[in-house]
Chain A
Amino acid sequence: MNGLPLLPTIIIDMAGSMADIIFSFLAMRYALLLTRRQPDNFLWGYLFYFCMALSAFSVSRAAGHLVKQFLFMSDNGDIWADIAPYSGGFNTLLLISVSAVTIFYNKSVQAYESIEQKAAKLKSANLQLEKAAAELKELNMHLEEKVEERTAELSKSEKKFRHLFSNSKDMIFFGDIGKNVLEINESGLEMLGYSPEDAKSLNLYQIFRNEEDIFTYYELLSRDGYIKDFEAEFQKKDGSVIYVLISATAIYDDNGKMIGCEAIAKDLTRVKTMMEQLVSSEKMASVGQMAAGVAHEINTPLGIILGYAQLMKDDFDEDSEAYQNLCVIERQTKASRKIVADLLKFSRQAGSARKDIDLNEILSDVVAVTEHNLNLNHIQVHLDLADHLPRVIGDAEKLRQVFVNLINNAQHAMEEQGGGDLYLGTSYDPGKKQVITRVRDTGHGIPEEVKAKIFDPFFTTKPVGKGTGLGLSVTYGIIQDHGGTIVVESPVRNPDSGEMMQGTEFRILLPRAEDTETVALKEEGGRPETM
């Protein structure tokens, strides 16, 4: 018997049908798990529908095959003939369904890819955002640190410059274009005699003595942007003047327009005074040397002239004209010799007798001699002598001459106004260990331009014939000889109220007796001071 047995195909068909159902359902189960795990994933949705359609097809086909096998096994093949069209039709329907679902894979993938791309973009954007946020956070943290660091630096710098501004011994001020003072340091206010309250309304017109200087100051600033060593005179609140050296810089706004200035002003008053005193001292020293030389040269012929004139007087009668002429020669020669003697005193070449003296006593003696004459000129003398005044070493006669000279000058200063007050007094400055004698009048005072010349020999403001111009020169020479200092102040500041009073005050400062030897060694140091 040839042919092929169909039993293997029957067995494989039945077993395969069951295996188909099992595997297709297992596949559908995992597809279902996928969709549950990621419900938004289009691709899993597609695979689930695909598996479901395939399972349905497998069930339909396998069921058909199994039923067929069982019917044939039970010899009921005719029943299968009735069922077969339905089973086949159903298989065909599901086969088409599976095919139809399969075709939609592409659309599912497209949707999936589109969503994935958007998700990836979103994820990427999110990552970038997170990165940017982290960078921003780090930057912010660093920024805070930077700001703190810069603030600390700024604070330190501000403190440093504030300290410089506040503690500078020179005047530092800021001005605006309207010539108002915006800010000024304490030294500046002190220099000008203003209080911190005054500073709020201070302007440069109040500070600068000359208005022209303000205009020059601003002109130079706007032209060059800075000013170096600009000399000017500042007026203090009380009206007194100080000399300053200004260095300033212009301040500009963002558009380069000048909006103000910052300036440092150094008080040169003391330096200027010292320079003037030095010049005066040098001048006096040279004049003194010249005067001494001239005096020596003239003194000898004057002595001879005087000697001969006195001898010749013996040869003539007292009533004769020649005798009278010789008397005139003798008198004028003596006057000339006095001038020569004064010159020698000025140049400190005249001899002197030093001893321990009391200035109160000497001043009282001088007042006693001159008071009557002063009273006649309606001058009231006020004598204020200090008790327990230390004694000084000096020539009593010469010091009397000093006081007489000063009182004469005071009297002369008050003559025009028909009288006044003359204050004489002594005091002791324990700090400087100096005995001070004051001679103050209420006269017309000494003009500023004359102050520097009053100690010059032959300088006088008196009419011709009324003074030789040697009084203060001699006074200066004598005080210098005593290792002292003479100070002139005109007008005079009231030590109590600080107000300026009309008149002139001469202060003679002499070392006390105990210190004289020491001072003598520094004799060259004493110079006249004018205030």
Chain B
Amino acid sequence: MTGRLPIILVPLLLGVLLGCPDHAWALQSHGPPEGLYVHQMAHIHFVLALGYLLWDIRRSSFTSMGWRYLQVFCLLMIVWNVLAFTGHAMGVVLEPHHISTVQGYFQSRLLGPLTTTKIIFYITKLDHLVAVPALFFLFIGMRSLYRTVIEHAGEEKK
């Protein structure tokens, strides 16, 4: 009896949907803020993934320097994500007239009076100060792991 249920339900559902075309249930439309939301959610997702990775590395009890550098990378990347997330949020709050480009792009200024929002925005614009060290730690972490493998291989040969 249960095997026959989809055979009955599927045509019935199709019939209802085709019979009521007033509501556009076929496709959802995407408005302008959706891209920002998705991007912000991606940052959150990345923070959670990095947190999980950090926790998992510590749990895995890998003790070599390479893994320690990777943990530092995770921490810095989390910080960077927080900065980036905040920066994106501040970008929404900040109005275009708060930045002056009258004297050319290189002479651009964040106009006063300086509020907390503006200061935070300014700081988040410097996110590479965290992102670059994070990737540097990733680089030295990978290099350290590689060297450890080479050393082990040398010891085994001996």
Contact = CB atoms under 8 A, between A and B. Distances in A.
B125 A9 contact: yes
Contact of B135 (A6, A20, A29, A33): A20
A109 B70 CA distance: 14
Query: For this complex, into which size category does the number of interface residues on chain B fall?
Result: 35 or more
B128 A17 contact: yes
Interface string A1-20: 11111111110110111011
B138 A103 contact: no
A521 interface: no
B126 A23 contact: no
Contacts of A33: 146
A105 interface: yes
B138 A19 contact: no
A99 B49 contact: yes
Interface residues of A, number: 53
Contacts of B145: 30, 34, 44, 47
A19 B129 CA distance: 10
A296 to B, nearest CB: 120
Interface stretch (A90-98, A242-250, A442-450): A90-98
B107 interface: yes
A75 interface: yes
B135 A24 contact: yes
A148 B127 CA distance: 83
Contacts of A26: 139, 142-143
A91 B149 CA distance: 33
A33 to B, nearest CB: 5
A90 to B, nearest CB: 11
B108 A5 contact: yes
Given A8-B126, A16-B132, A17-B128, A30 B139 contact: yes
A479 interface: no
Contact of A73 (B35, B105, B113): B105
Nearest to B36: A88
A29 B145 CA distance: 12
Nearest to A58: B135
Contact of B142 (A7, A19, A30): A30
A96 B42 contact: yes
A27 interface: yes
Contact of B46 (A16, A20, A98, A113): A98
Interface string B33-71: 001001100110110111011001100100000000000
A89 interface: yes
B15 interface: no
Given A4-B110, A24-B139, 13 more contacts: A4-B114, A5-B107, A6-B99, A15-B128, A19-B132, A23-B135, A27-B138, A29-B142, A89-B35, A95-B39, A96-B42, A96-B46, A102-B46
28 contacts: A2-B111, A3-B109, A4-B114, A4-B118, A5-B108, A6-B99, A6-B109, A12-B128, A16-B129, A20-B132, A27-B141, A27-B142, A30-B145, A30-B146, A33-B146, A44-B145, A47-B142, A73-B106, A75-B105, A88-B39, A91-B39, A92-B39, A95-B43, A95-B45, A99-B48, A99-B49, A102-B46, A105-B57
Interface of B: 35, 38-39, 42-43, 45-46, 48-50, 52-53, 56-57, 60, 99-100, 105-114, 118, 122, 125-129, 131-132, 135-136, 138-139, 141-143, 145-146, 149-150, 153
4 smallest CB-CB distances across A and B, nearest first, come from A16-B128, A2-B112, A30-B142, A102-B49
